[in-house]
Structure 1
Amino acid sequence: MAVLAVQAIRRMRGGAQGHLMLGADGEAYVVKFQNNPQHIRVLANELMATKLARALGLTAPECDVVEVTEWLIENTAELSVEHGRERQRCVAGLQFGSRLVGGLMPGQTMDYLPEEQLREVKNLGEFAGMLALDKWTCNSNGRQAVFHKRPREKRYQAAFIDQGYCFNAGEWKYVDAPLRGVYARNLVYEGITGWDSFEPWLSRLEEFDPGIIWGIAETVPPEWYGGDPSAIERLVEGLMVRRGRVRELIGEFRESSRQPFPKWGKAQENVVKGGFGLPGWADDVSGPVM
């Protein structure tokens, strides 16, 4: 059952032009609407990839389907989105909602930290796990994260947000390239010394129960993908196949011009499951479409 939105609080930044809204459950949600300027499928991408991240044990906000009524839209002037020079009212119905990191309680949430503070992030190692998930789900955007700490805490914790461009955004095709789905700053990857740095998330991903993936897909409202069950079936089938390619895709990023893993020794054998060496890829060359 969807969470009912009862109040619009403010417009949020970002390409999907989401709105911060209060749900009937008392929680604050960043809500992305079906007629957002990116694509209606970004709602499905957000719901699926965020739930997959949480199932792997990564720090992503809780999320849900949020119902926004016609009455609330008609009585809230700011509930609109811009398409170029045209402004449209947000459409009523089922939308995607991500819990606001930190909620509305006092605290501090940042989308950028100076280098010294970034190094001290409590769960910095999770960037390796999120890299694995982004490669698995073919995130065609840069990895986004926000950092939150409670009052009197000294260190921030990262929360991974904005999964709308997973599955190649509205395309729902798996087109891979080494520098897709990675965080902009190499610092978050400096602690990676080998495949052990991706645990336990990588092993969980490779052994992910297909039943859980299908269960997550079934929570996506059909209107978010045009009501065509074959489209989401193909998406999930491709996702299951890709569990066996994630190490290869990470290896392509490792060999890219970014050189993101300076502590992963050059002499260490670069091996994927099955004993095959990882090829080097040029940054501007896409991998296979699956």
Structure 2
Amino acid sequence: MLQAVTYVRSLFGWSKPHLMQCSDGNLYVVKLSSNPQGIRALANEMICCRLAKLLNLPVPDGQVIHIHESLRTQFLELGFNIGDGPHFGSRYISNSTDNPSDEELGSCINIAQAADIITFDYWLDNNDRYLWRDYGQNILVSRGSDSQIWMIDNANIFNGPNWTPESVLDSVSEYRKFWGPLYAKFVPYLDGPNPFDSAIAAINALPSSDLLEITADLPAEWGVTRAELVTLSFALDCRRWNLSNWLLQLKEHFPLWRSIP
């Protein structure tokens, strides 16, 4: 488990994250166990990160972060309630923006992965990323010669961190359409015959055992029982077989795709 060794500053966001340097020498955006979304948001973040890594999606490294006792005094002086137990840290992407221009999006070397991101969000029932907000998106665009899109702030997978075994099982056959300004910005780079087919195939190719394995060592303090994780893995296994039908409902937003009989 990584140790937070230096507090840097607070960051903007609903979950009230903080920037810290950790024992591996890297900076992390840390969500505390006391964050306003609830402690299970940390489990959602880690599950999403590990699944994304299996699919080679652009998500920053996620780590369990322990806040060293020497930092607790700093937090108290700053007026923050740390909360007990382990926290979640996402590797900090420097020189980036969460409010990219259309030109910055279009120049990303991995812009084609937008199809994978949309498909992944549908698979994980993410009700948050498709929006466009004046104060920042659930993506980052790193700036430089090899600029790219990064997926961040994934606490709202499973339709939010307050999911239950019953709600995720109900979601297996329930279609929820997620479409909005951010996804619409991706259309010119994805439009064509079957834009989501390869992304769906990659998810369907994952062994069922992997879906359970990635949850095996989540901290118990994050409030998700083993039985709940087994149910969640089963629901994810089932949901992926509905992706083709669900994403077909987006065809109306893609002019070239729509024109193909």
Equivalent residue for 1:167?
158
2:47, 2:215 within 8 Å by CA — same for their partners in 1?
A: yes
- How far apart are residue 168 of structure 1 and its match? 1.4
**How far 1:69 sits from its partner (Å)?**
3.0
Taking the TM superposition and a 5 Å limit, the aligned residue runs for 1:114-193 are 114-143=101-130, 144-150=138-144, 153=145, 156-172=147-163, 173-174=167-168, 175=171, 176-179=175-178, 184-190=182-188, 191-193=190-192
Is the 2:64–2:88 Cα contact (8 Å) retained in structure 1? yes
Contact residue 193 and residue 260 of structure 2 kept, 8 A:
no
Q: Residue 135 of structure 1: CA displacement?
A: 0.5
Stretch of structure 1 that moved more, 246-255 or 207-216: 246-255
Q: 1:101 aligns with which of 93, 103, 115?
A: 93
Q: Which residue of 2 aligns with 1:61?
A: 60
Deviation at 1:199, TM superposition (A): 5.4
Evaluate the alpha carbon distance shift between residue 28 and residue 99 of structure 1 in structure 2; reply closer, same or farther with a 3 A threshold. same
Number of the residue aligned with 1:254: 251
| 3-state secondary structure, aligned to 1:20 | strand
In the TM superposition, what is the alpha-carbon distance from 1:71 to its structure 2 partner? 3.5
Any gaps of 5 or more consecutive residues in structure 2? 131-137
Contact 2:193 2:257 in 1 (8 A): yes
In 1, Cα distance between equivalents of 2:60 and 2:36: 23
Normalised TM-score (structure 2): 0.86
The amino acid of 1:221's aligned partner reads P
SS in structure 2 at match of 1:138: coil
The CA RMSD over aligned residues, in Å, is 1.9
Contact 1:70–1:92 (Cα < 8 Å) also in 2: no
- Note the 1:1-290 alignment, pairs <5 A: 2-76=1-75, 77-78=77-78, 80=80, 89-102=81-94, 108-143=95-130, 144-150=138-144, 153=145, 156-172=147-163, 173-174=167-168, 175=171, 176-179=175-178, 184-190=182-188, 191-195=190-194, 197-198=195-196, 200-226=198-224, 228-255=225-252, 259=253, 261-268=254-261
SS at match of 1:171: coil
Q: CA 1:32 to 1:79, structure 2 compared with 1: closer, same or farther past 3 Å? A: farther
Q: Do the aligned partners of 2:105 and 2:149 also contact (CA within 8 Å) in 1?
A: no
Q: Give deviations 1:83-139, integer Å, cap 9, x for gaps.
A: xxxxxx11142111100013xxxxx21112222332222111111101111101100
Structure with bigger gyration radius = 1
Fraction of identical pairs, as percent: 25
1:274 corresponds to which residue?
A: none
Contact 1:73–1:79 (CA under 8 A) maintained in structure 2: no
Q: Which residue of 2 aligns with 1:275?
A: none
Contact 2:4–2:65 (CA under 8 A) maintained in structure 1: yes
Residue 79 of structure 1, CA deviation? 6.4
Q: CA 1:73–1:183 in 2, change beyond 3 Å: closer, same or farther?
A: farther
1:207 CA drift (Å) = 1.4
Deviation per CA, 1:44-89, whole angstroms, max 9, x where unpaired?
1110111111210111101111111344122333362xxxxxxxx1
Question: Secondary structure of the equivalent of 2:36?
Answer: coil
Instruction: Give 1:231's aligned amino acid.
Output: E
Tell me how far 1:185 sits from its aligned partner: 4.8
AA paired with 1:167? F
Structure 1 pair 264–131 and aligned structure 2 pair: CA distance change class (3 A): same
Number of aligned pairs? Answer: 244
- What displacement does 1:205 show? 0.3
Taking the aligned partners of 1:55 and 1:8, their CA distance within structure 2 comes to: 31
Distance 1:91 1:221 in 2: 14
**2: CA distance, partners of 1:79 / 1:21:** 16
Query: Deviation per CA, 1:265-285, whole angstroms, max 9, x where unpaired?
Result: 3333xxxxxxxxxxxxxxxxx
Which 5+ residue runs of structure 1 have no aligned equivalent? 81-88, 103-107, 269-290
1:15 and 1:91, CA in 2 relative to 1: closer, same or farther beyond 3 A?
same
Summarize the Cα distance change of 1:225–1:266 in structure 2 as closer, same or farther, 3 Å threshold.
Answer: farther
Q: For the Cα contact (< 8 Å) 1:31–1:95, is it kept in 2?
A: yes
